[in-house]
């Protein structure tokens, strides 16, 4: 075989057939509820080619065989990692943080009771750390026993980054830079500045690996559950089940936050709508 025909053969073997695409969709849906729709074939292919290259495989049929034989299920996790989006930022969708500051913290201060929060689908940690910073600012006397934040995600690599709590200058939002910087420690100046979240804030957040579509080991009850920009990738049935399970784990008077492009369906009628993307368990 000459060089050109070898290149062509390699290219052909890298085709992702409709049945291979369906197999991948089914695996991902069964494992984590993520719905990959038709039309996403080229995106899926482009992202998975990185996995093939990493594993030294030359076709999707080899890759599917590898997945099938991998008893550790490690590759399934890596596949899900490359297919999910981890986009997040500090104080993302600021209305939520304003709601916590103006509505929730004053009540907590009055009641002197302890509070528990859950950031479900926390990605690289910006969401739970923003929450911890806000609590620290609003209730300076608070300690990590009084206000506990559980932060979970299906992805091990994002959890490693969240636990490390090291961020570059670019991820510091202009709007809340001074608030955030009060709780950041500069750990490197050159070649580019790097910051770590202060120990006090880090202590308030406990990270754990959790697949939202599996069994949940924690009991709750929580004052607040944030599941923002996660359910958007699930189908109606998975969302419905999840929202029901969130309801069961919330205190009466507790809140559920979803992403601003998401809303609960009428089947989630137990929740009372408070404002966009904020729901109350009465
Ligand atoms: C777009 S990020 C949202 C991060 C943050 N909540 C925010 O709004 O900025 C979605 C996160 O959900 C996680 N995720 C997706 N499916 C999941 C599942 N079945 N169980 C737990 N986490 C999941 C992904 O790994 C990713 O980190």
- The answer to whether residue 164 scores a pLDDT higher than 50 is yes
- The answer to whether residue 225 scores a pLDDT higher than 60 is yes
Catalytic residue among 51, 92, 148, 153: 153
3-state helix, strand, coil in the chain (%, to 5): 50, 20, 35
Q: Is 153 annotated as catalytic?
A: yes
If you compute the radius of gyration of the chain from its CA atoms, what whole number of angstroms results?
Answer: 21
Give the binding-site residues of ligand 1, using a 6 Å CB cut-off. 32-34, 84-88, 92, 121, 123, 127, 153-155, 158, 210-213, 228-230, 259
What is the C-alpha to C-alpha distance for residues 234 and 81, in angstroms, rounded to an integer? 15
Query: Which single residue is written with the structure tokens 């309801």?
Result: 247
- Distance, CA 209 to ligand 1 centroid (Å)? 11
What percent of the chain has pLDDT above 90?
Answer: 78
Which is more confidently placed, 169 or 39? 169
Backbone angles phi, psi at 194, to 5 degrees: -130, 145
What is the C-alpha to C-alpha distance for residues 246 and 264, in angstroms, rounded to an integer? 12
- The answer to whether residue 2 scores a pLDDT higher than 70 is no
- Model pLDDT, residue 3: 47
- Model pLDDT, residue 6: 47
- Model pLDDT, residue 174: 86
pLDDT single digits (tens) 146-158: 889 999 999 999 9
Residue with the nearest Cα to atom 13 of ligand 1? 121
Residues β-bridged to residue 226? 119, 257
Query: Which residue spans within the chain are E strands per DSSP?
Result: 115-120, 147-153, 166-168, 184-188, 194-197, 205-209, 222-227, 250-258, 271-275, 278-281
Q: For residue 191, say if its preceding peptide bond is cis, omega within 30 degrees of 0.
A: yes
pLDDT band at 8 (very low <50, low <70, confident <90, very high): low
């Amino acid at each position: 075989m000459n060089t050109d025909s070898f290149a062509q053969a390699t290219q052909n073997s890298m085709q992702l057939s409709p049945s291979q695409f369906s197999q991948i969709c089914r695996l991902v849906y069964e494992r984590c509820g993520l719905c990959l729709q038709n039309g996403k074939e080229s995106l899926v292919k482009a992202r998975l080619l990185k996995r093939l290259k990493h594993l030294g495989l030359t076709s999707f049929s080899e890759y599917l065989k590898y997945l099938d034989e991998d008893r550790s299920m490690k590759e399934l996790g890596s596949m899900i990692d490359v297919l999910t989006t981890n986009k997040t930022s500090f104080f993302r969708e600021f209305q939520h943080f304003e709601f916590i500051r103006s509505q929730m913290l004053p009540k907590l201060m009055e009641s002197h009771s302890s509070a528990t929060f859950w950031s479900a689908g926390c990605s690289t940690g910006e969401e739970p750390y923003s929450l911890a910073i806000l609590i620290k600012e609003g209730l300076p006397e608070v300690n990590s026993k009084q206000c506990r934040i559980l932060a979970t995600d299906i992805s091990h690599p994002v959890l490693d980054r969240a636990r490390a709590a090291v961020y570059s200058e670019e991820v510091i939002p202009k709007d809340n830079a001074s608030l955030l910087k009060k709780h950041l420690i500069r750990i490197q100046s050159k070649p580019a500045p790097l910051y770590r979240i202060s120990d006090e804030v880090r202590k308030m957040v406990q990270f754990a690996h959790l697949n939202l579509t599996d069994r949940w080991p924690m009991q709750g009850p929580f004052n607040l559950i944030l599941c923002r920009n996660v359910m958007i990738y699930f189908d109606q049935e998975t969302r419905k089940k999840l929202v029901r399970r969130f309801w069961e784990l919330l205190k009466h008077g507790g809140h559920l936050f979803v992403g601003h492009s998401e809303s609960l369906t009428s089947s989630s009628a137990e929740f009372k709508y408070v404002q966009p993307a904020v729901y109350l368990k009465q």
